[in-house]
Amino acid sequence: MNLLIIQHRRCTTSARYPARLFALLSQFLWILPGTVSLAATPDTMTVAAASAAIPRLADGHPDFAGIWTNKSVTPLQRPAELGEKAFFTAEDAEAFRQASLARRDRDNRTNDVNDVLNAYNDFWWDSGTEILPNMRTSIIVDPVNGRMPALTKTREAELAAAQAATAERCRQSGCAINNGGVMAPAYAPEVLDLMTRCISFGTTVPMLATAYNNNYQFVQSAGTLAINTEMVHQVRRIPTDNSAHLPSQIRQWYGDPRGHWEGDTLVVESTNFIGRFYGNMQAADENLRVIERFTLSSPDILLYQFTVEDPTVWQQPWSGEIPLTRTDGLLYEYACHEGNRGIQNILRAARQEMKAAAP
Amino acid sequence: MQRSVLCSVFGSAFGSLLLLPALVQAQSAAASTPDLNGIWQAMNTANWELEAHAAEAGPIASLGALLAVPAGVGYVVEGNIPYLPAALEKRQANRLQRWTADPEIKCYMPGVPRANYLPYPFQIVQGSDTILMSYEFADAVRTVHMQDPGPAPANSWMGWNVGHWEGNSLVVEITDQNNQTWLDRSGNFHSDKLHVTERYTPMGSDMLLYEATLTDPEVFAAAWTIRMPLYRRKEANAQLIEFKCIPFAESVLYDAIGR
């Protein structure tokens, strides 16, 4: 059985690259005797079995079709007290998991306006209850401390200046506590954050989990991978033909993704970002470049690896990985903008406050 | 074809004859299901008005010919939409306020069938058990389930889409849409009882015949059908580019609030 499947795969692979026929032919001849005596070479058998078992498209490339989730209690950044400890033991993992769940579900009422922002417990969250199956202590794997690298001096100064300007503006009326928990202008849509405007929940590039709706439907055909992100129904349409990026004057909220295959791994490069983000990527600017790698490590685990580069923002690139797991059930439409009453109330309150304060 | 020749060479060269029937079978199965993958777009004025209509001035006098309404010969097989009397009155009322009330103005997801004849392309990604229809306008998307997903849990803007193949046609039944979308810029509308049956039939490699039959007991006296071709976008670099229109609609949606 293995022998046949391996031959099928070689066949389709080599046919797509006729110029490499002879190179593959020699590989093929080398593998053939190996597969005949599988029992004697357990490593070969494991690799062959794993790569043969994954679903494939007619063109021979892996088929990522399905609904995947990235939710977990594994933090993006490793808690500082864990230092360079990259992996949990089973005991550590359970303790960390319990502590995370307890913190998330605690009664955090403060009997002031913050109760509006913090009025969420585990009834509302759907951000995962398990450690990722790789047992890592953080999603970030590089730098070795598992944390985002330092900002460049210039970016640090820019963000500090923006923060100071916000604080200065909010000495006057027209501000409200934003989703980050700080006072920020709230009198016009364009000064509000992207989540409040239903433009982005920061879940898309790279694919990092948030409070809920952490579901991604992959639909694939020859030359295209579509990733339907449940959160605010964002579809990434990724050409897998190594085509060129859009001209640099075309900027997109979610960047311009371009993919190519490296063996059974789909590598996707995204550039051309507008440069405004929500959530974990908030510090990034228009020079952001994200490289993502998708590899089916088994039929039910899609290894997702990413590297983030933005030379005007971070002093060095940083990388992370999330083994995506298959999830039962379907994706449902999240019509965020169409039902956005929240933004109307935020604007109304801020504008009324400004009107009342006007001389 | 190149692949099958090379595969045959490989197969016979290494004596794995057992492989060949499986390969041939896979290819013929693939051949019997039309390949709808690609970027498609209507090239007509149905989004202005589904029924036959003459050209007329646009909503902003200072823009002159820009944004004026182009004429159309009509895309309704029966000629006119068979409205119930009360619904026809509502259509006329909608038409009078079309420059303010059309949900397209608000960047709302357009619903089905309107999504398919908006003046923006959409992409069909035909997967193994799911067909995704991804629209440039408002990032609208619908998942066509090719296996029964069970009943819809709630109404939605793009509906509950269940598909199957009938010969050469993809047939999609769409139910459980809400009553917030319109059928065009002229105020044609439906209720949340709308049932749409779509047929996508390839007419050569670069054209689909698109037919959508609408029934809605609260709005229409009989079933009626929209029919038009959809064309493949053939530019070498054809692709969907973001048209995230929320920022474009915020002013009209929110300027008056609280002021």
CB contact under 8 A, B6 and A18: yes
Residue A352 lies inside a defined structural domain of this protein = no
Q: Is the domain of B25 the same as that of B112?
A: no
A98 and A234 part of one domain:
yes
Spatial neighbors of B167 by CB under 8 A, at least 6 apart, are: none
Same domain, A254 and A114: yes
Whether A38 and A127 map to the same domain: the answer is no
Residues A47, A131, single domain; the answer is no
Query: pLDDT (tens digit, 0 to 9) for every residue of chain B, 259 residues total?
Result: 333 333 333 333 333 333 333 433 333 344 579 999 999 999 999 999 999 999 999 999 999 999 999 999 999 999 999 999 999 999 999 999 999 999 999 999 999 999 999 999 999 999 978 999 999 999 999 999 999 999 999 999 999 999 999 999 999 999 999 999 999 999 999 999 999 999 999 999 999 999 999 999 999 999 999 999 999 999 999 999 999 999 999 999 999 999 8
Contact A199 B246 (CB under 8 A): yes
Nearest to residue A10, comparing CAs of A222, A263, A224, A260?
A: A263
| A247 reaches B (C-beta below 8 A) | no
Average pLDDT of the segment spanning A44-73: 80
Q: Is residue A60 part of a domain?
A: no
Residue A356 is assigned to a structural domain of this protein: no
Question: Is there a single domain that holds both residue B161 and residue B213?
Answer: yes
First to last CA, chain A: 83
B43 burial via Cβ count (<10 Å: 0-12, 13-18, 19+): exposed
Query: Do B227 and B114 sit in the same domain of this protein?
Result: yes
Domain extent for B85: 38-254
Residues B247, A14: C-beta atoms closer than 8 Å:
no
Task: Collect all residues with Cβ–Cβ distance below 8 Å to A311 and sequence separation of at least 6.
Answer: A152, A287
Q: Is residue A267 located within the same domain as residue A178?
A: yes
Residues B139, A234: C-beta atoms closer than 8 Å? yes
Cβ–Cβ < 8 Å for A181, A117: yes
Same domain (yes/no): A47, A189? no
Structural domain includes residue A59: no
Residues B235 and B149: beta-carbon distance below 8 Å:
no
Residue type, A347: L
Q: Does the global pTM surpass 0.90?
A: no
Residue type, A230: E
pLDDT value at residue B4? 37
Give chain A's mean pLDDT: 86
Same domain for B144 and B25: no
CB contact under 8 A, B132 and A226: yes
- Does ipTM surpass 0.85 in this model? yes
Asked if residue B259 belongs to a domain, the reply is: no
Q: Rounded to an integer, what distance in angstroms lies between the CA atom of residue A259 and that of residue B239?
A: 14
Q: Which domain holds residue A76?
A: 69-326
Identify whether residues B126 and B207 lie together within a single domain: yes
Examine residue A206 and say whether the peptide bond preceding it is cis (omega within 30 degrees of 0).
yes
Query: How is residue A222 written in tokens?
Result: 């020859």
Asked if the C-beta of B109 comes within 8 angstroms of chain A's C-beta atoms, the answer is yes
Could you tell me if A24 and A74 lie in one domain?
Answer: no
pLDDT at A3 over 50: no
Cα(B256)–Cα(A92) distance, integer angstroms: 55
B95 and B196 both lie in a single domain: yes
To 5 degrees, how large is the angle CA A147–CA A150–CA A151?
130
pLDDT band (50, 70, 90) for residue A50:
low
B190 domain residue, yes or no: yes
**A349 within domain boundaries:** no
Q: Are residues B9 and B119 in the same domain?
A: no
pLDDT at residue B133, rounded to an integer: 98
Owner of token pair 């079309």: B98
Question: Minimal CA–CA distance to B206: which of B229, B227, B228, B231?
Answer: B231
CA distance linking residue A353 with residue A350, whole number of Å: 5
Residue A58 lies in a domain: no
Distance between CA B20 and CA B16 in Å, rounded? 8
Structural domains counted in chain B: 2
Instruction: Specify whether A75 is located in the same domain as A37.
Output: no
Q: Within this chain, do residues B153 and B205 fall inside the same structural domain, yes or no? A: yes
Note whether B119 and B28 are same-domain residues.
no
pLDDT band at A52 (very low <50, low <70, confident <90, very high): low
How many angstroms away from the CA of B259 is the closest CA of chain A? 7
Same domain, B87 and B142: yes
Residue A312 lies in a domain: yes
Are residues A180 and A125 part of one domain? yes
DSSP structural state of residue A150? P
- Closest-CA residue of B relative to A225 is B125
* Span between the terminal Cα atoms of chain B, in Å: 67
> Is there a contact between A331 and A228 (Cβ–Cβ < 8 Å)?
yes
